Structure 1
């Protein structure tokens, strides 16, 4: 068997040639890849079955109308993600396939930490659409950048609009925490600069990536439709996620205004959103319970709301997302 060159791996349409070199045929490989997401979701459900059971039991006594509203907000999260992805690329993507890829990416995001699952699915989708690797990667970077910026802008808007009603005193970081955050950001910038300056093999690809990203960003921001899709989707996504929590809280009878519930979600996700946990499960949930308690919600009710939120926003989309992911693999969209 002749060795496989790197150019063959990176060239579009090279997957069939690679599959022919494997002991199994291409059809068998695609079948395995299409079944793996469902198996991974099943294994994860078995490991976290107790949380699934408790959450379903608590939601059984909730108001079904508000739960349906929460499900609708969760569905809109995938639509918002699709808008951001389109806004991060000059090329027009097929809307139906783009939306399906983001539903599938949501399922993959619960398997790998720090958004790697969603980025991997999206990167494969873009490459199958003929987008060069450098531009596809630059779009992923832009997607990752605009989300926290938009969330920070929303938090600032809430603070300016409701300065006297939001109990934010206990949520503000201390001076030591701010110092640690600032030090971490400065250290990351110093490390990046040192890599570019002293690690010669990395200099050219990093500078090339930065140049591609900046060029595409300037081009995108010269097109109003892309600006609206990029920043409008980036602002809508955290609002829909927060509205899901607010609707679940309403279904359980939490006596807090929606402004408080939405701000609680924005603050919690901003505090621990960078923690590399699959789907944000764990750190974000703990931060949500903490912020709800700070806002005056009893512990048991806050815990029930967060469990219900996780079931609807996290678990409920997993099965359709895994099935769509398998279908996209079988049909060679991914």
Structure 2
């Protein structure tokens, strides 16, 4: 491709971009995740690291650097291997749930390796539009039509909340029944009231699913959301066939929450489990697979403050979240990179097969 000359409006001289300028432009040019240059992925990783570090430093400042430093000098490292084990279990559970959801309603049966590659890449810190975009493209490459791929991705998000939200609602009811002040009613009552109402509203809305077919605009968006809920209902209607979807999602949440709990114990914090569950879920108002860059920066801030509101000292919370994010974001970076390479290879194979 021939470099285009760039006119200078001050002196009237036409300047030809240097090779370095062209390389920089190609790196900064926004492209889909499977078409990016490795340098673009590296740049996104650096941005994610800067956001995470900035959030952690800011929270440490709010907690008091001296207090944070004192806690850092007294670490109970016996809990860290457990945190690693719990996070591995969480990823394994997500892979199981992913495979089950994809094959519902006659979808393809993904192998463990392919499902693992998709899951790992979708959690990568280099994914700027969230892991669900990785899921959608990967499912399309697996032969699922675009609309069905989008519905399954939305169904995956619904499945995550369908498993987590009832557990948090029960925890909120327990805390309200105890009369505890941490977390406050501002955190517990929304979970205790809104979750049952939300499930009831979803059941009622499903009755209007077919009426929204063929529409455009906001009705089309609502139709996709209802189709995702219908996929969830199909999973629940055949528990013997698709039990792995709910069990896998449950293992994912249990493993991830247990990882955070182990990190809290590492820094000598032993929170009430019901309160910690509410803090965790409040901090994840959006799951990290929906957030850009794996939630870098946002998860560190939201979860740290949510744990503090749940009764964990902020200094303990920020250090625990720092360790937790090492296990659930930065340590899985290598599998995410490997998974992305496999997705690119499969995309190339699909493209070569369609051109024959």
Shorter-normalised TM range: 0.5 to 0.7
Match of 2:130 among 113, 117, 129: 117
Match of 1:266 in 2: 281
Unpaired runs of 5+ in structure 1? 1-28, 187-192
1:233 aligns with 2:233: no
Match of 2:22 in 1: none
Match of 1:101 in 2: 118
User: Whole-Å Cα distance in 2 between the matches of residues 138 and 255 of structure 1?
Assistant: 40
> Measured at CA, do residues 303 and 210 of structure 1 come closer, stay the same or move farther in structure 2, by a change above 3 Å?
closer
Task: Please give the residue correspondences for 1:47-86 in structure 2 after superposition, counting only pairs within 5 Å.
Answer: 62-86=75-99
> Measured at CA, do residues 45 and 210 of structure 1 come closer, stay the same or move farther in structure 2, by a change above 3 Å?
closer
> Do the aligned residues in 2 keep the contact of 1:34 with 1:327 (CA within 8 Å)?
no
Match of 2:139 in 1: 126
Match of 2:5 in 1: none
> Measured at CA, do residues 314 and 59 of structure 1 come closer, stay the same or move farther in structure 2, by a change above 3 Å?
farther
Instruction: Give TM-score, length-normalised by structure 1.
Output: 0.67
C-alpha distance after superposition, 1:100-135 (max 9, x if no partner): 210111005x632xxx43112212222222122222
Instruction: Give TM-score, length-normalised by structure 2.
Output: 0.64
Aligned residues: 287
Of 157-166 and 260-269, deviating more is: 157-166
1:293 aligns with 2:308: yes
With CA pairs under 8 Å and 6+ residues apart, which has the higher RCO, 1 or 2? 1
Match of 2:165 in 1: 152
Instruction: Give, in angstroms, the shift of residue 239 of structure 1.
Output: 2.5
Match of 1:142 among 155, 164, 170: 155
Cα RMSD for the two superposed structures: 4.3
> Measured at CA, do residues 169 and 131 of structure 1 come closer, stay the same or move farther in structure 2, by a change above 3 Å?
same
Match of 2:14 in 1: none
1:318 aligns with 2:322: no
The 3-state SS of whatever aligns with 2:160 is helix
